[in-house]
Amino acid sequence: MDVCRRPLKPSIPHNHHQKRPTPSSDAAKASDALPLPLNITNYFFFTLFFSVAYYLLDRWRDKTRTSTPLHILTFYELAAILSLIASFIYLLGFFGIDFVQSFISRYSHDVWELENDEEQIFIHDGDCSIHCPVTSLITNKPKSMDIPVTPLPLKDDEELVKSVVSGDIPSYSLESKLGDCFKAASIRREALQRLTGRSLEGLPLEGFDYESILGQCCEMPVGYVQIPVGIAGPLLLNGCEYSVPMATTEGCLVASTNRGCKAIFASGGATSVLLRDGMTRAPVVRFASAKRATELKFFLEDPLNFDTLTVVFNKSSRYARLQGIQCAIAGKNLYIRFSCSTGDAMGMNMVSKGVQNVLDFLQNDFPEMDVIGISGNFCSDKKPAAVNWIEGRGKSVVCEAVINGEVVAKVLKTTVSALVELNMLKNLTGSAVAGSLGGFNAHAANIVSAIFLATGQDPAQNVESSHCITMMEAVNNGRDLHVSVTMPSIEVGTVGGGTQLASQSACLNLLGVKGANKESPGSNSQLLATIVAGSVLAGELSLMSAIAAGQLVKSHMKYNRSSGDVTKLG
């Protein structure tokens, strides 16, 4: 907020009776020059503007449906465009001048009415073009200004805690009432301890920016959980080296992934390819009959209608771009799976807004359509689902490497044949026996979760993001090992949500994918997805080698057990 002080000009005399020009008088003078009365002229141009606008919109819709090029104009269409421009210029000139004059008049009135004041304070906030929240006035109040904004009567902390405990002040409203997020968390924490009779000692409160999570990451905070971040790497992927941050409390995980990165590096690196990039959302709608539901299905799947639906969908965001629509029928219920690119955002909110636009548009032709829910689980989000395993969701990535036989022996402490056999019997056959869905791997979820926590992703989306099939095959006459991971639904973003928090932002910056890529929107999140797949490849290599060599139990006993006296904990 910028504050500037402007002294009033002493040369301007004050006169309460001095007549000032008004916008209405100026408008009246302007109307005297018109050949027709003012109301008739305004009515004519109003009618002309909306009539030709409706005509042009109707023609645009017809051309879209018949695939007629928009630049081919008839005489009537050209005349309508000219009429639209002319009426717009008239209305803008008449009412625009009137608005500016009224604004100037109000401003000059305020200046004239100031008497015996040496200075006037003007407040400008370039970030708030419409309004500024009360909390911003409280937290950003300059010392030189005394803005009397106190939503909550002044009370000491003890009284506030008692009010929360008694229920007089709802816990969720502390931030808005106090205007201080840290104090709100402190009051809520103390009230919680008194209500439950249990201590939160050990859960840190200080040292965290609670303003950064207000309204977007976490509600009613009472502290934050500390998760250590380790570094695995360098991971040599597509010719570039990456130090991979992993937030975890599982011993051996970072060390094991690091060993896999070492084996990949010593063998010349891994190659990762992005197969597709599209976030999905699938609303469920209901009709009175299955026949009517199928009519909408055929309408949505008709290529002639896709361009129109694309225009409607894409207007929700400058990054959202509709890629495809897939429908499924269950009786008289229709499930519509929309897929779209979302730039560098993970994109759930973006695709949901686009879907809502399309549903509103469809109700013009299908007014009896009953929208049951914006999400009908055909998406499918945060649940293991065959549709994600087969069709993909988010980023679909395949990553591969050829590990030299000497590296397998010296770094991984096993043999190529042992790894191939173990992968066949464990990751493929064993997972099939278990009826696994997308779980044809050793521990992809371990690596995915650790990177997700470190980089501010949605931890719950680890469910589908960990879908992975690990393949191992002996090559070069059995001397070397070809290993690959195929992951069809890695859901990551580099903007929005937890990615903007300081710690998570630092981890993204370490990988070189912080924020949005302005030159190539979407490339940062796509690179992050390939890094996740490359890290999973490293983790699979190391764990499978440990199992093949019989080292798994030994290593976990060494690195994943506390040496402290557990009887003294708690």
- Alpha carbon distance 433, 26 (integer Å): 86
- Alpha carbon distance 336, 240 (integer Å): 40
Query: Which residue, among 139, 227, 124, has the nearest Cα to 175 in the 3D structure?
Result: 139
Stretch among 62-76, 121-135, 486-500 having the lowest mean pLDDT = 121-135
Q: Which of 98, 125, 400, 458 is catalytic?
A: 458
Segment 20-69, tens digit of pLDDT = 444 444 444 444 444 556 667 777 877 888 888 888 888 877 777 776 77
- Chain centroid, CA 485 distance in Å: 26
Residue 486 phi/psi, 5° resolution? -120, 120
Per-residue pLDDT, 555: 64
Q: How far is CA 460 from CA 125, 449, 455, 491, in A?
A: 38, 9, 14, 10
Max CA separation in the chain (angstroms): 104
In 183-211, which positions are buried (b, 16+ CB within 10 angstroms) versus exposed (e)?
A: ebbbbbbbbbbeeeeeeeeeeebeebebe
Q: Which helix (H) or strand (E) holds 402?
A: strand 394-403
Q: Check: CB of residue 541 under 8 Å from CB of residue 487.
A: no
Q: Which of 162, 426, 482, 556 is catalytic?
A: 556
- Alpha carbon distance 51, 83 (integer Å): 10
- Alpha carbon distance 46, 88 (integer Å): 9
Segment 302-327, tens digit of pLDDT = 999 999 999 999 999 999 999 999 99
Per-residue pLDDT, 173: 95
Query: Which residue, among 350, 356, 323, has the nearest Cα to 338 in the 3D structure?
Result: 323
Could you tell me what percent of the chain has a pLDDT over 90? Answer: 68
Q: Check: CB of residue 445 under 8 Å from CB of residue 466.
A: yes
Q: How far is CA 226 from CA 202, 218, 504, in A?
A: 10, 15, 13
Segment 503-516, tens digit of pLDDT = 999 999 999 999 99
Positive or negative torsion for Cα 450, 454, 455, 458: positive
Collapsing DSSP states into helix, strand and coil, what is residue 253? Answer: helix
Per-residue pLDDT, 563: 57
Collapsing DSSP states into helix, strand and coil, what is residue 406? Answer: helix
Q: Which of 155, 297, 353, 382 is catalytic?
A: 382
One DSSP character per residue, 128-186 reads -SS---HHHHHHT--TT------SS----HHHHHHHHHHTSS-GGGHHHHHS-HHHHHH
292's CB contacts (< 8 A; 6+ apart) are 332, 366, 368
- Alpha carbon distance 227, 204 (integer Å): 12
Stretch among 41-55, 195-209, 516-530, 533-547 having the lowest mean pLDDT = 41-55
Q: Which amino acid is at 285?
A: V
Judged against a pLDDT cut of 50, whether residue 121 lies above it is answered with no
Catalytic-residue membership of 250 = yes
Report the DSSP pairing between strands 439-440 and 468-475.
parallel
Q: Which of 250, 295, 400, 473 is catalytic?
A: 250
Q: How far is CA 74 from CA 39, 47, 82, in A?
A: 32, 22, 13
Query: Which residue, among 291, 284, 280, has the nearest Cα to 359 in the 3D structure?
Result: 284
Stretch among 112-116, 418-422, 481-485 having the lowest mean pLDDT = 112-116
Judged against a pLDDT cut of 60, whether residue 565 lies above it is answered with no
- Alpha carbon distance 268, 382 (integer Å): 36
Report the DSSP pairing between strands 370-373 and 439-440.
unpaired
Per-residue pLDDT, 37: 62
Stretch among 103-107, 459-463, 525-529 having the lowest mean pLDDT = 103-107
Q: Check: CB of residue 516 under 8 Å from CB of residue 495.
A: yes
- Alpha carbon distance 400, 480 (integer Å): 13
Q: Please give the structure tokens belonging to residue 534.
A: 């490359």
Q: pLDDT category, 3, cuts 50, 70, 90?
A: very low
Q: How far apart are the two ends of the chain, measured CA to CA in Å?
A: 48
- Chain centroid, CA 556 distance in Å: 37
Segment 136-173, tens digit of pLDDT = 333 333 333 333 333 454 568 999 999 999 999 999 99
One DSSP character per residue, 473-490 reads EEETTTTEEEEEEEEEEE
Per-residue pLDDT, 156: 83
Q: Check: CB of residue 235 under 8 Å from CB of residue 543.
A: no
Query: Which residue, among 327, 393, 324, has the nearest Cα to 354 in the 3D structure?
Result: 324
- Average pLDDT over the chain reads 84
Which residue did the predictor score with more confidence, 523 or 26? 523
- Alpha carbon distance 353, 367 (integer Å): 20
- Alpha carbon distance 277, 351 (integer Å): 13
Q: Which amino acid is at 475?
A: V
Residues 114-130, mean pLDDT to the nearest whole number: 36
Judged against a pLDDT cut of 80, whether residue 102 lies above it is answered with no
Residues 370-385, mean pLDDT to the nearest whole number: 96
Q: pLDDT category, 281, cuts 50, 70, 90?
A: very high
- Alpha carbon distance 442, 429 (integer Å): 12
Query: Which residue, among 305, 317, 318, has the nearest Cα to 355 in the 3D structure?
Result: 317
Catalytic-residue membership of 382 = yes
Predicted TM-score of the model (pTM): 0.72
| Matching residue, tokens 């009908």 | 376
Per-residue pLDDT, 306: 95
Segment 415-469, tens digit of pLDDT = 999 999 999 999 999 999 999 999 999 999 999 999 999 999 999 999 999 999 9
Q: How far is CA 372 from CA 41, 279, 286, 359, in A?
A: 48, 21, 7, 11
- Alpha carbon distance 454, 244 (integer Å): 9
- Alpha carbon distance 333, 371 (integer Å): 10
